[in-house]
Chain A
């Protein structure tokens, strides 16, 4: 091309270089981190885990696509956030739930909780959590019929209670801590295996996708309050949604505080509400309600921490 003169070059403001990490890469990392849990769950509950997860992913992406088309917004399905919502919602459902109910959940998550509030980053509450709560209140029976894990399945009984259900009702034998940890227990698809979720969470922390503050403070608070209530802390950490909630739902960027102190307050708050509901509430499980509650006060936590940040010693 030689030594030619060129005009009308692109002029833009510095920096002229950006990190390769963009939104879709972050969401992709979250999807990757959820794979171990999907694997264990498929092993424990069978192939319906896979099909239900796929249905939720497809429905979420489809709702996001249609919503953007109908509201004439820029198409955002390529950022993979709808897929993450789909998987997280699926992981919060019993594996024998009807596809129709799951798709209704996806509609609530993507259209009502996310789209109508302005899309990615604008939603006040976590879409998957809120959708789960809506389904829980609307389809209580279906959402509380838990399939038994393959290892415990007898010839005639295919459903049974979750460990927290056993604890609440007081009838039946609690599974061992090892079963709780590995995931051979009844429950929602993605929340059964503490070890698989822990693996995914550590991966996200290592990739610097999430900060460890929220998961650690959440789980530590649950453990401390369990001890205070005279119950087994390991049981409470591994039962129900604590692991998936702490690593994957409470750490949702849009609905959790952005500064370290805020994250600490948020994590402790989630842990407190979870244990309050578990010990005193009428529901066996409190993680989703706890996170939803803390989502609502996140803006206030942010305000409080920003005032401290800017008021105090600034570098």
Chain B
């Protein structure tokens, strides 16, 4: 085992997969010489040369088009859209091209490509550099969407993404790059569609996405001290979504809180809540709660961004809200 940072984990996954498969290449703005805006692709130019680590012009539409065309014809691109916000500039290539081609061709075309991008608030980067847009992507059949929450998963999931035959969007929350975690020295992969049960518990299920997993994790410890045993689930990929793990957990605990950083309205939490009520409505002891951002753009100023971001306190409040009642009479009137 080694303890490494999240950005290094991604770097290692890229390097290992490029060694393993000569068709894998990287392209994006400032990924080569500069090593990426967050140091994620550092050293890869030296290791693999200019033909496999490609600096592109500022041309997001063409970057995704490059990935679509080259993957259709035999290469395996891993391209970078520097900030997820900039995906809005290339949505045609993602939504109408990458996501549709296999289907439209009756399964004849194959697009093994990965789009790495960076999302989330927390750096006061303002409304056009802080968004979490995963729900827009989850809504589109034909692409897979990955949201790692720690270095171990990031490395293993990215390797899976690169080996996948489908277009995969790999979302790196910008607050995670510095996070350290244990990663095995030997080769491993993390499969898609297999949620991680971060912590087992019996009273309430918390499903958290991406960076919010870490906030929820610290919350579960505090809840434990107050006599609430929370089960924490990190889906790791939202397409495919591991419905079974979530549903089974809710059937056991009877309570569900969903936590994500994106705005609540039309968010991934709405999808998860709907799935749960379709499958295990009769097991629920309390209405499902969603902890998410308000229906606003991400503001710049510190007090505003803090207000926008879901925090531990809000998660605790939501958990208490669903736990008030039968098993936890001591909580009544205390929220």
A binds B: no
Query: Contact residues of A with B, CB < 8 Å?
Result: none
